[in-house]
Amino acid sequence: MVQSVEELEERLSRPRAALIEDLRKLDGDVVVLGAAGKMGPSLVRLAARAISEAGTGADVIAVSRFSQPGSADALRAAGARVVPADITDDDALAGLPDAENVVFLVGAKFGATGNEPATWATNTYLPGRVAERYAGSRIVALSTGNVYPLTQTGSGGPTEDHPVGPVGDYAMSCLGRERIFTHFATTRQTPTALIRLNYAVEPRYGVLVDIARQVHAGRPVDLTTGYANVVWQGYANEVILRSLLHADVPPFLLNLTGPETISVRSVAEQFARAFGTDVQYTGTEAATALLSNAGRCHGLFGYPDVPLAELVEMVADWLRNDLPLLDKPTKFDVRDGQF
């Protein structure tokens, strides 16, 4: 069990053999846009370690505004080449290093309600500019399971062939991101992969942390959105990087999450036992939830290496030891698309 931020960062960035082998097959450098977000730092570290072990000599180029002090230095220390830049600026985007491989992690979600134009600019307009800048590269772009409608909780969730049905401006703008990347993939013959993720978790943030904090603080757990999908962030980062080899025209589409539909009630009870407390509830489970079927992902890349039971134990242990949290709630229980 991880006992510190340093141990967690090491665990998140520990490459498995399959990732090392895939990155050994990859030609050229990897540029990560949005490298200082929630997933970016651990993905950059994972890529740098895996490429180092693969021995290809490729660079991992981490691009972000790096507004948090020390964040750029930490990635340099991990072996990445750091490029501070605001890619919403035309000159900054044009001046980025060329790279054969692009991982696009930039996105806006929270604060979208009341700020819809800026949300669309980040999630839909900016991807088109990035696709033009890197038209000669292969691109893996992070999307979201929010492009799907709410579906029956016993259905196992939509596969990639399921009709989309985004609810709210955030989800619609994310579908717009997919449409724009698809447009440039087909018109510029840019191999592309679109990764519909929901929800990555680790001990500092995620759906499990959201539930655990409510139980730990003695606050009622709302069961209205009674089911969800989660996946270990280390596995999510690995799949995103390995998907570079699957980028295609038209784009390769992939749901990325864990194999289970988790019960919020069941997970809350597990946390209550871990904390030695009782859990209180409000609401009753609705018949629908935001879910995804990641069977294609697991068939290609195997199952997550950290199972749900271990994730729950890891999060409980983290909170018991009062270790740092990112304080970034997922709002996975929002049902009207208002973020």
Q: Which two tokens stand for residue 151?
A: 């579906």
- Do 39 and 233 touch, CB atoms closer than 8 A? yes
Peptide bond into 15 cis (omega under 30): no
How large a percentage of the chain has pLDDT more than 90?
93
d(CA 10, CA 38): 16
Residue 270 lies in a domain: no
Q: What is the pLDDT of residues 200-258, one digit of tens each?
A: 999 999 999 999 999 999 999 999 999 999 999 999 999 999 999 999 999 999 999 99
Q: What CATH number should be reported for the domain holding residue 150?
A: 3.40.50.720
**Where residue 107 falls among pLDDT bands split at 50, 70, 90?**
very high
State the average pLDDT over residues 79-88: 97
Question: What are the contacts of 66-72 at 24+ separation with CB within 8 A?
Answer: 66/36, 67/36, 68/36, 71/36, 71/41, 72/36
Place of tokens 């691109």: 139
Answer whether residue 278 is part of any domain.
Answer: no
For 222-235, the pLDDT digits (tens) are: 999 999 999 999 99
What pLDDT does residue 148 have? 98
Say what the pLDDT of residue 309 is.
96
Q: Which amino acid is at 320?
A: R
Give the Å distances, CA to CA, from 249 to 184, 189, 192, 240: 10, 6, 7, 17
Count structural domains, the chain. Answer: 1
| Structural domain contains residue 264 | no
Q: Decide if pLDDT at 59 tops 90.
A: yes
Residue at 166 is within a domain: yes
pLDDT at 115 over 80: yes
Per-residue pLDDT tens digits for 175-198? 999 999 999 999 999 999 999 999
Q: Are 85 and 64 in contact (CB under 8 A)?
A: yes
Residue 50, pLDDT score: 98
Q: How confident is the model at residue 1 (pLDDT cuts 50, 70, 90)?
A: confident
Work out the mean pLDDT of the chain and round it to a whole number.
Answer: 96
Domain that holds residue 297: 5-200+232-257+291-303
Residue 98: inside a domain, yes or no?
A: yes
Whether residue 40 is predicted with pLDDT greater than 90 in this model: the reply is: yes
Helix (H) or strand (E) holding 30: strand 30-33
Instruction: Quote the tokens at residue 106.
Output: 């930039």
Q: Is 181 inside any structural domain? A: yes
Neighbouring residues of 94: CB distance < 8 A, sequence distance ≥ 6: 133
At residue 196, the pLDDT reads 98
Q: Is residue 161 over pLDDT 90?
A: yes
- What is the rounded distance in angstroms from the CA atom of residue 332 to the CA atom of residue 339? 10
pLDDT at 124 (0 to 100): 97
Its pTM stands at 0.97
Distance of CA 289 to the CA centre of its chain: 19
Q: Which two tokens stand for residue 19?
A: 């990732």
> What six digits make up the tokens of 185?
């993939």
